[in-house]
Amino acid sequence: MTVPDSDFAAFDREDAAAQLAGLLELLPDRAQVADLGAGRGRVSIPLADHGASVLAIDHSRAALDFNQWTKRTGVRGIHEDFLGEDPEWVRSGTLDLVCCLGNTLALIHEDSRLSHLFALADQATGPRGRLVFDDLAFWSHELRDPHDWPGGISQDGSQQLAWVPDAPFFAYRTGSEVDSTRPRPDSGERLLRLWSAAEMNDLAVPSGWAPAVHLETGLIMSFLKEN
């Protein structure tokens, strides 16, 4: 399946700037960071520009090669499935921060695979390691609320969540793709999963992570390792 260009860009520039500011507050000096699903460097590049050493992991060689962005100082590209067996990013030294941002989490559909991610991140990070996601899980009820998203369409009509009936999966549409006559995903549309905070906490705690903290101004869901 071809990855849409929208996966590589911030949907909202102000939100992206707020999230970057939140990430920078979490970085220790000379931080070692893994960016899972790094794409074309939306997160990796600014973190490296602020002094972090970043492992940029993606299954798309084309994304990692885009404008040779992984050749810049502070970035090392790793072409692999970050949920694969014995992945290189876990073996590459002790990390301070693991980022799983953008659509990356929503592309993980099974509980077992997200549980595996928590376990891998635990292996890869030091005693005060941190794993961060977008904070969408804290808003899962609002996104399914027919008052906020009547018929699955945002109030300004620019976005649509076409839900699979009685399941946490949806197809995401924007612009001319929005169609109130098609409230369910079409055959072949890419499905994303909307995780809840409770679901994620249940999978994180067995791997040694404290329940998530909502860093709301940074649009970040943050898991910190238990002492």
Q: Are residues 122 and 50 in the same domain?
A: yes
Q: CA–CA separation, 171 vs 163, rounded Å? A: 7
Residue 39 pLDDT > 80: yes
DSSP bridge partners of 100: 133
CB 197 within 8 Å of CB 220: no
Per DSSP bridges, beta strands 220-224 and 125-134 are antiparallel
CA separation for the pair 106, 100 (Å, rounded): 10
- Torsion, Cα 47 135 110 175, to 10 degrees, reads -90
Same domain, yes or no: 22 and 111: yes
My answer on whether 17 and 86 are in the same domain is: yes
Determine which helix (DSSP H) or strand (DSSP E) holds 112, and give its type and residue range.
helix 111-124
- 72/115 same-domain check: yes
Residues 128 and 220 reside in one and the same domain: yes
Q: Quick one: 160 and 185 in the same domain?
A: yes
Task: Indicate which CATH number applies to the domain containing 54.
Answer: 3.40.50.150
More confident residue, 182 or 4: 182
pLDDT digits 0-9 by tens, 111-153: 999 999 999 999 999 999 999 999 999 998 888 887 788 889 9
* pLDDT tens by residue, 71-112: 999 999 999 999 999 999 999 999 999 999 999 999 999 999
Do 22 and 132 have their domain in common?
Answer: yes
Q: 217 and 109 in one domain?
A: yes
For the chain, give the mean pLDDT: 93
Same domain? 29 vs 128: yes
For 79, the domain range is 5-137+195-224
Q: Euclidean distance between the first and final Cα of the chain, in Å?
A: 41
Could you give the C-alpha distances from 180 to 22, 140, 190, in angstroms and in order? 36, 21, 18
Q: What is the pLDDT of residue 145?
A: 81
Residue 9 confidence (pLDDT): 52
Percent of the chain with pLDDT over 90: 87
Q: Do 98 and 183 fall within a single domain?
A: no
- Per-residue confidence band for 4, with pLDDT thresholds at 50, 70 and 90: low
Are 120 and 187 within one domain? no
149: which DSSP letter?
S
The rounded Cα 34 to chain-centroid distance in angstroms is 12
Both 107 and 215 in one domain: the answer is yes
Instruction: Tell me the whole-structure pTM to 2 decimals.
Output: 0.92
Structural domains in the chain (count): 2
* CB count in 10 Å sphere of residue 71: 10
Using the predicted structure, report yes or no on whether residue 10 has a pLDDT greater than 70: no
The one-letter code for the residue type at 28 is P
Residue 15 has pLDDT above 70, yes or no: yes
| Residue 183: per-residue pLDDT | 94
